[in-house]
Structure 1
Amino acid sequence: MHQVPYTKEVIKAALEELINTNPVTPGAVRVLPAGTKIRGISVQDGLATVDFSRDVLRANVGASGEELGIQSIINTVTEFPGVQKVSFLVEGTVDQEAKNWWGHVGLYSQPFARDVAKVYEPAIWLTSPAPDQVVASPLEVRGSARVFEATVSARLLDDSGKELASGFATAAQGAPGRGDFVLPLKYQVNSPGKGKVEVYWKSPKDGKEMDKVVIPVAW
């Protein structure tokens, strides 16, 4: 989960996060070219039109990377209420260079609809805590998971590696489905400090910790 300063231009802020920050989700990569600017966004009758600077066309990726880049924009924008489809402009228009986009998929099928099947989806996806968040007991670990028998495990460690708390929770559904989970961790500390939350699932074959997500926190 990314945190951004308060703004009324929430869609623009979300897209700027895609452009300017590294993903917090393990395995995800940044695909939009650095330096890309959002010139404007309009929403009418469920269609969001995003106007990019021409810098957006400078990516050098393959066909799969292009599809991922386009879909990551669409899925981000359609997270917001009232948006069902998305169209792109480049410097206020869609000329031939813009239609070609990054040279493979292109913008020939605009407007685009949401499709989460075309983006990387980790086994464990955390929404709380955020990286470097100041937490208190009980610490609620929240997210969604697609894991064996829906069982998600977590622990809180201090900066020396000492375990302060651990537990497990059952997500709303197990693999191949995805379900939400909430896992409270109760702990005691005597002074401010830093540590990390580790969230994972255990292999039924050998007990190995799988798809571990590590989030730094403070208290």
Structure 2
Amino acid sequence: ATTAPSPTDSRTPAPPTTGTAATGRPATLTLELWYVRAGQLTPTRRTRPATVATSRLALTELAAGPTPAETAAGLVTLLPDGAEVSRIADGVATIRLPDAPDPTTTRLRQAQVVYTLTQFPTVRQVAFGDDAPAGRADYADLLPAIVVTGPVIGDRVTSPVTITGTADVFEATVSVRLLDAAGRQLATAFTTATCGTGCRGAYRVAVRYRLAREQPGTIEVYEVSAVDGSRTKVVAVPVTLTAAR
């Protein structure tokens, strides 16, 4: 079964979400953090106490690095401690980055910062020191063919589970399968992204599954090869699958 994707422009980041306290003020803030896996950008999330210094918090969390589960899945951060927001004006955040131990990773490190900070409505571009401001489009080549924005690594999911993200795949067709702890296939689905075969579009698909008990599982999102029908460009997201009948 398929679910039609949202027509939302895939280049426009979703705003961070908040929880609301009894006073009406947000109690928590959910941040989207962009780490690196196999030399490409990969998103995950953190929920933290709300603050007005959202960009500063995002940089701190980005430098703190992945969780053990994310590390096991291959995520790393290239951003060292000490990155600072010197100003935000007219949609541009100016950032001071500490010297990096490996200059060959500079562009990936900058891409982590750009994709993370531009989730906020006050930031459209990022300038590093005296360099010209850059936005997400300037680092789009560092995205994998398939990006999964939800669920993220370590999430606990229920049936039906909704998988979202962006993709640039053949005929815009995005395929999904759910695996249990033993690697057995529980369910499959596919959908069509809003663009494909040379352009990136958004996708969303809901997948129902049956499972007798809660256990670790994996969501795989992939492209079916037009050549031999094999699964290619696979993105695996380890999650916890709740029991479902």
In which range does the TM-score fall when normalised by the shorter chain?
A: 0.7 to 0.9
Q: CA deviation at 1:28?
A: 7.5
Q: Which residue of 2 aligns with 1:134?
A: 156
Contact 1:32 1:59 (8 Å CA) reproduced: no
Q: Which residue of 2 aligns with 1:189?
A: 211
Letter in 2 for 1:57: D
Paired residues for 1:68-87 under 5 Å: 68-87=108-127
1:145 aligns with 2:145: no
Q: What is the DSSP-based 3-state SS (H/G/I as helix, E as strand, rest coil) of the residue aligned with 1:18?
A: helix
Q: Which residue of 1 aligns with 2:147?
A: 125
Q: Which residue of 1 aligns with 2:107?
A: 67
Candidates 99, 109, 119, aligned match of 1:57: 99
Matches of 2:156 and 2:58 in 1, distance apart? 23
Q: What is the DSSP-based 3-state SS (H/G/I as helix, E as strand, rest coil) of the residue aligned with 1:142?
A: strand
Q: What is the DSSP-based 3-state SS (H/G/I as helix, E as strand, rest coil) of the residue aligned with 2:120?
A: coil
Contact 1:140 1:182 (8 Å CA) reproduced: yes
Cα RMSD (Å): 2.6
The structure in which a higher percent of residues are strand is 2
Q: Which residue of 2 aligns with 1:5?
A: 47
Letter in 1 for 2:63: I
Matches of 1:155 and 1:71 in 2, distance apart? 29
Letter in 1 for 2:152: A
1:90-110 Cα offsets, whole Å, 9 max, x none, are xxxxxxxxxxxxxxxxx4434
Task: Give the paired residue count.
Answer: 192
Q: What is the DSSP-based 3-state SS (H/G/I as helix, E as strand, rest coil) of the residue aligned with 1:187?
A: coil
- TM-score, normalisation: structure 2: 0.69
Contact 2:163 2:204 (8 Å CA) reproduced: yes
Contact 1:4 1:13 (8 Å CA) reproduced: no
Gaps of 5+ in 2: 1-42
1:174 aligns with 2:214: no
- TM-score, normalisation: structure 1: 0.76
Q: CA deviation at 1:40?
A: 4.9
Q: What is the DSSP-based 3-state SS (H/G/I as helix, E as strand, rest coil) of the residue aligned with 1:57?
A: coil
Matches of 2:44 and 2:167 in 1, distance apart? 18
Contact 2:56 2:84 (8 Å CA) reproduced: no
1:19 aligns with 2:63: yes
Contact 1:77 1:83 (8 Å CA) reproduced: yes
Q: CA deviation at 1:115?
A: 4.4
| 11-20 or 139-148, larger mean C-alpha shift | 11-20
Contact 2:85 2:93 (8 Å CA) reproduced: no
Q: Which residue of 1 aligns with 2:134?
A: 113
Matches of 2:130 and 2:83 in 1, distance apart? 21
Q: Which residue of 1 aligns with 2:3?
A: none
Consecutive aligned runs of 4 or more in structure 1 exceeding 6 Å deviation: none
Contact 1:143 1:182 (8 Å CA) reproduced: yes
Percent identical residues: 32
1:45 aligns with 2:108: no
CA 1:199–1:84 in structure 2 vs 1: closer, same or farther (change >3 Å)?
closer
Q: Which residue of 2 aligns with 1:94?
A: none
Letter in 2 for 1:114: G
CA 1:19–1:144 in structure 2 vs 1: closer, same or farther (change >3 Å)?
same
Matches of 1:161 and 1:67 in 2, distance apart? 36
Letter in 1 for 2:148: L
Matches of 1:29 and 1:134 in 2, distance apart? 22
Gaps of 5+ in 1: 89-106
Q: CA deviation at 1:39?
A: 4.8
CA 1:195–1:49 in structure 2 vs 1: closer, same or farther (change >3 Å)?
same
Q: What is the DSSP-based 3-state SS (H/G/I as helix, E as strand, rest coil) of the residue aligned with 2:112?
A: helix
